[in-house]
Amino acid sequence: MIQTRRPIPAQQIKLLLWDLDGTLVDSELDLAHSINAMLRHLKRPELPIEVVASFIGDGAPMLVRRSLGDPQDEDFVQSALEFFMHHYREHKLDHTYVYPGVMDVLCAIRENSDIRMAVLSNKPVGPSRGICDGLNLSAYMTKIYGGNSFSTKKPDPQGALALLDEHGVRAEQAIMVGDSQNDVLTADNAGMFSIGVTYGLSPESLKVHPPDVLIDHPKELLELLGLATHPKR
């Protein structure tokens, strides 16, 4: 079901910025497995998958810090982060998959419109690109940026503003699509429109900072863009 708080003028949209985890792909299990591998390595008790999932969304350093209980020893956190990243690089595609309907939506947007698409994630750029390459998402994207591509992460608008500039698009011609309040706040901070997805990892946070439009299934995005039954515009 589509829930609209602020209508999006579909005809003026030129750019879609996609979040990755919880929006394009379900990466929950691989992230949880790598966190628990790190915890085993540190002789700490493992965490339930749903607990790890609640820590996802603010980048790998924050995921590790939260999983460790926010310790004050920065050297310890850095060492743990390095172990986590090494494990995750090797196992990032063990169970991660593209959400049902996403590939159809990407294909329809590419084939039936002039809208360009890019990924803006808080996940480090290496794994982000590796996942997009491995799951055939890269072919649809003009750019793939991660949490270490810029000096700040979402919800700071630096990455979104850079993508607007690189594509020669004004903020009111772009939409940020994501599953968390970070994505909504990024859009707000950049002056863009926002679409929240309820099927992702952080739907509860969308109640705190509601997007302009909320959708339950990827294919509803085509309806919003006027592409569900219409040819290239």
- Which CATH number is 43's domain given? 1.10.150
Q: Can you spell out the DSSP letters for 23-67?
A: TTEE-HHHHHHHHHHHHHHTT-----HHHHHHHTTS-HHHHHHHH
Kindly state whether residue 9 falls inside one of the protein's structural domains.
yes
Give yes or no: residues 143 and 168 share one domain: yes
Q: How far apart are CA 174 and CA 225, in angstroms?
A: 12
Give yes or no: residues 48 and 17 share one domain: no
Longest dimension (CA), the chain: 57
Domain's final residue, options 36, 71, 91: 91
Counting runs of H as helices and runs of E as strands, what totals does the chain give? 10, 9
In tens, the pLDDT along 136-180 reads 999 999 999 999 999 999 999 999 999 999 999 999 999 999 999
Nearest to 96 by CA among 146, 39, 31: 31
Domain's final residue, options 73, 91, 109: 91
pLDDT class of 202 with cuts at 50, 70, 90: confident
Give yes or no: residues 76 and 160 share one domain: no
Active-site residue list: 19
Q: Give bridge partners of residue 144 from the DSSP assignment.
A: 119
Give yes or no: residues 32 and 122 share one domain: no
Give yes or no: residues 22 and 32 share one domain: no
Q: How far apart are CA 142 and CA 145, in angstroms?
A: 10
Domain's final residue, options 66, 91, 116: 91
Give yes or no: residues 82 and 186 share one domain: no
Q: How many domains does the chain have?
A: 2
Domain membership of residue 54 as a residue range: 28-91
CATH number for the domain harbouring residue 173: 3.40.50.1000
- Predicted pLDDT at 179: 96
Kindly state whether residue 231 falls inside one of the protein's structural domains.
no
Nearest to 194 by CA among 180, 218, 205, 110: 180
Residues 6 or more apart in contact with residue 2 via CB below 8 angstroms: 213, 214, 215, 216, 220, 223, 224
The mean per-residue pLDDT over the stretch 182-198 comes to: 98
The mean per-residue pLDDT over the stretch 181-190 comes to: 97
Give yes or no: residues 19 and 62 share one domain: no
Give yes or no: residues 152 and 197 share one domain: yes
In tens, the pLDDT along 100-144 reads 999 999 999 999 999 999 999 999 999 999 999 999 999 999 999
In tens, the pLDDT along 62-93 reads 999 999 999 999 999 999 999 999 999 999 99
Q: How far apart are CA 69 and CA 51, in angstroms?
A: 12
Kindly state whether residue 233 falls inside one of the protein's structural domains.
no
Give yes or no: residues 17 and 33 share one domain: no
pLDDT class of 233 with cuts at 50, 70, 90: very low
Q: How far apart are CA 87 and CA 12, in angstroms?
A: 43
Do 197 and 175 contact (CB within 8 A), yes or no?
Answer: no
